[in-house]
Amino acid sequence: MRGKSLKFRLLIGLVIAAYFGIKYFSSQEINPYTGKKQAISMTVDEEIQMGLQSRDQMAAQHGGLYPNESYQALVDNVGNKLVNNSIARETPYKYEFHLLADPQTINAFALPGGQIFITYALFSQLENEDQLAGVLGHEIGHVLGKHSAERIANSELWQGLSTAGSVGGDIGGLIAQGGQSILLKNGRGDELESDDLGVRFMIRAGYDPEEMIDVMEILKAAAGPNRVPEFQSSHPDPDNRIEEIRASIKKYSQQ
């Protein structure tokens, strides 16, 4: 009986794994803006709605919006200039730029569908409009690259495989650990792709892409000497990002 039970569990585990595998590979498509093949489990409208539904909650987590209309206008102007002078304007996304009141967390991030945020803590560290363009261009790159939607699809796959492993043979934990390692690696790739797109957007909009390197130095200083090792982080080491940014500047400056 024990042998039959084990075989039955293995069969169920294989069925679950096959289901999530088929779902994942059948959802793969070519991103029309980057040319990258990626699994996307949601529509563009669903991306936009997810961003809109999470917008106010994310703002509230960072103390709401920064109460300075001139600063917000600057963020809007730079963000819209980047969009209007790049392929981003051809996307169906509804780009909105938000300056958050958070005075301590040095960060910027994007939600699916075009909701882009920068904290006042980071904004106040920037020395000029070009550096602001570097930050916002990077975040526009995340939206255009469909990175959040891709991450959701990848997470669904590994969660499904982990469930299959648990049902079939109690190896779900090992699968989950392997999936987490791959997701972190993919996350670092997303950051580098967004840096590359950000450089491209900056040049097209007339900004100095060299200023993105100074942004990396600001982030490096903010992380301090005890920053998380690259292999444990979803972000590449700032020094590696600087090297890749220099390569992107050279590539797009020659076009």
- Got the DSSP string for 68-122? -HHHHHHHHHHHHHHHHTSGGGGSS---EEEEE--SS---EEEETTTEEEEEHHH
For CA atoms 131, 132, 135, 139, the dihedral sign is negative
Q: Are 216 and 129 in contact (CB under 8 A)?
A: no
| Spans of all domains in the chain | 10-253
Q: pLDDT tens string for the chain (255 positions)?
A: 455 565 656 666 566 666 566 666 767 889 888 888 988 888 999 999 999 999 999 999 999 999 999 999 999 999 999 999 999 999 999 999 999 999 999 999 999 999 999 999 999 999 999 999 999 999 999 999 998 888 887 676 656 556 655 654 555 444 344 434 544 444 688 899 999 999 999 999 999 999 999 999 998 888 765 554 433 444 677 788 999 999 999 999 876
Cα gap 83→96, rounded to integer Å: 10
Pick from 75, 83, 78: nearest CA to 100: 75
Instruction: Give the chain's length.
Output: 255
